[in-house]
Amino acid sequence: MNENNNLEVYISDLLKKIERDALSLSQQEREFLADRLLSSLDGDALNDIDSAWIAEAERRYQEYTEYNCLKQMTRNHRLLLSDR
């Protein structure tokens, strides 16, 4: 049991050092590291991330099309009023 506790402390200390070192990297280096770490995860984790981005993209596209539709309706309304 004591051996497990020592291992947990070692891993915890090692993770703290890795985090501290990673945070001292430049933004570009952190982005590269983050990409490498994310790509090392199993497919389920990436699928969740991909699904979230797809949902966000669809939401943004819906807002975009609704805005353009409203904009076109406003133009048509102005044209109809100007013809009177």
Confidence of residue 56 (pLDDT cuts 50, 70, 90): very high
The per-residue pLDDT for 45 is 64
Sort residue 41 into left (φ over 0), alpha (ψ -120 to 50) or beta.
beta
Confidence of residue 76 (pLDDT cuts 50, 70, 90): confident
* pTM over cut 0.85: no
Show the DSSP H helices in 1-84 as ranges. Answer: 2-23, 27-39, 43-82
The two tokens of residue 52 are 């979230």
Which pLDDT tens digit goes with each residue over 7-55? 777 788 999 999 999 999 999 999 999 988 888 877 666 677 888 889 9
3-state secondary structure at position 41: coil
